[in-house]
Amino acid sequence: MQFSIVIPTYNRADELRETIRSIARLNVAGDWELLVVDNNSPDHTRAVVEGERAAFPAPLHYLFEPEQGRYAALNAGIRAARGKIIATTDDDARVEPDWLTRAAAGLEAHGCDYVGGKVLPLWKAHRPAWLPHRPGCHWSVLALQDHGDAPREFGVNGLPWPLGINTATRREAFEKTDLFDNRLGRKAGTLRNQAQREWHLRARAAGLRGFYVPEMVVHHVVEAERMTRRYFWRWYYWHGISRAILFTKLGVDMDSPDNSQLDFSKVPQIAGIPRFMYRTLTSHLKQFVVARLRGDTVAAFEHELWLCFFAGVARQRWSERKVAIPSPQVNPT
């Protein structure tokens, strides 16, 4: 089989139905399948999948994964997939009809191990003024991505890693690097968010390469509850927790893990946090106050988000302060 598409899902049955119907409109050359992995949903997810099966143009499989967590479900789908190329997306996505065709072309053109593309917003409510309708640091909170219209290599010259809502990976890449670390992915009640980065750092260390393919487009539904300051505060807090877990596991810089330069097993710490991060904390506090005083609400909010990030780092590092930090195994490109 040429392609497998894996969708992990939790308690979004009606949104999932629209995602499945979007995927049903794909133009695909070669055999393919769709695997929907139900991560313990209390709603009617299974009924939705079974109801869409008869009209679906390819094999549509329902899997159940009892271990809570998006990446536990994703791992279960990858293990069950039969395709040479394994594509992943989310239960609130809409794919372009040429999505898989563009992914396969990108893998072939660049001779690489994985590809990812644009993730553009489908706003479901009025977008607040502080949330720009353009790529930027705010977009990562909403799982959006747009790096322009030219192919580029992920992890090189500052290009971040692809988002799990829009990736296609050769099966052999998972065989070389193993699957995702579920501790670093989202679970009900959390917003952990570093499982993709952790996998790609391991993949880079193993010599695997991936490219951004701009023609490979997915649209992501952005619900009203995500367009609130409270959601952004919470996301950055869990971002800090996630980066601290990554720090303990791989020994990489919590503020800039993709370009980590130091051996943190030798860096002085206070309460489990590298000492230099307190200088960064002081700088953000000062800039936050200055921005508030001059009425620059956008700049003030950005500094406020870093403070939420630091709070998450502090919580996690305090709990793991006695755990030895490994020497880095992942070197920057």
Q: CA angle, corner 214, sides to 93 and 23, nearest 5?
A: 30
- Give the CATH number, domain containing residue 121: 3.90.550.10
d(CA 10, CA 39): 5
How many angstroms separate the Cα of 92 from the Cα of each of 26, 202, 231, 301? 16, 28, 18, 27
Shared-domain flag, residues 191 and 256: no
User: Torsion over CA of 108, 213, 115 and 327, rounded to 10 degrees?
Assistant: 120
Q: What is the pLDDT of residue 137?
A: 79
pTM for the full predicted model: 0.94
- Whether residues 272 and 213 share a domain: the answer is no
Among the candidates 170, 193, 225, a domain finishes at: 225
List the pLDDT tens digit at each of the 333 positions of the chain. Answer: 999 999 999 999 999 999 999 999 999 989 999 999 999 999 999 999 999 999 999 999 999 999 999 999 999 999 999 999 999 999 999 999 999 999 999 999 999 999 999 999 999 999 888 887 788 778 899 999 999 999 999 999 999 999 999 999 999 999 999 999 999 999 888 999 999 999 999 999 999 999 999 999 999 999 999 999 999 999 999 999 999 999 999 999 999 999 999 999 999 999 999 999 999 999 999 999 999 999 998 889 989 999 999 999 999 999 999 999 998 765 444
Cα separation of 109 and 119, whole Å?
Answer: 21
Q: State the CB neighbour count (10 A cutoff) for residue 287.
A: 16
Query: Is 313:241 a contact under the CB 8 Å cutoff?
Result: yes
- Residue 149 CB-density burial (10 A; 0-12 exposed, 13-18 middle, 19+ buried): exposed
Sign of CA dihedral 47, 49, 51, 54: negative
Q: Quick one: tokens of 226?
A: 């995500």
- Give the chain's domain count: 2
Q: What share of the chain is helix, strand, coil (3-state, %, to 5)?
A: 40, 20, 40
Question: What is the distance, to the nearest Å, from the Cα of residue 115 to the centroid of all Cα atoms in its chain?
Answer: 14
Q: What are the φ and ψ backbone dihedral angles of 298, each rounded to 5 degrees? A: -65, -50
The domain containing residue 254 runs over which residues?
231-319
pLDDT of amino acid 333? 42
Q: How far apart are CA 85 and CA 103, in angstroms?
A: 9
Q: Is residue 328 part of a domain?
A: no
Helices 276-293/297-319 angle, 10° precision: 150
Residue 332 domain-assigned? no
Q: Is residue 333, in this structure, part of any structural domain at all?
A: no
Q: Which of 225, 259, 282 is the last residue of a domain?
A: 225
Structural domain ending residue among the three candidates 225, 256, 284 = 225
Does 324 map to a domain? no
161 and 296, same domain (yes or no) = no
Q: What is the pLDDT of residue 329?
A: 65
> Tell me: the pLDDT tens digits for 194-253?
999 999 999 999 999 999 999 999 999 999 999 999 999 999 999 999 999 999 999 999
Q: Within a domain: residue 292?
A: yes
Strand partners, 61: 35
Strand partners, 88: 6, 167
pLDDT value at position 134? 81
Long-range contact set of residues 152-157: C-beta below 8 Å, sequence gap at least 24: 152/211, 152/212, 153/110, 153/112, 153/209, 153/210, 153/211, 153/212, 154/116, 154/200, 154/209, 154/210, 154/211, 154/212, 155/200, 155/204, 155/210, 155/258, 155/333, 156/333
Q: Classify 115 as helix, strand or coil.
A: strand
In a shared domain, residues 117 and 25: yes
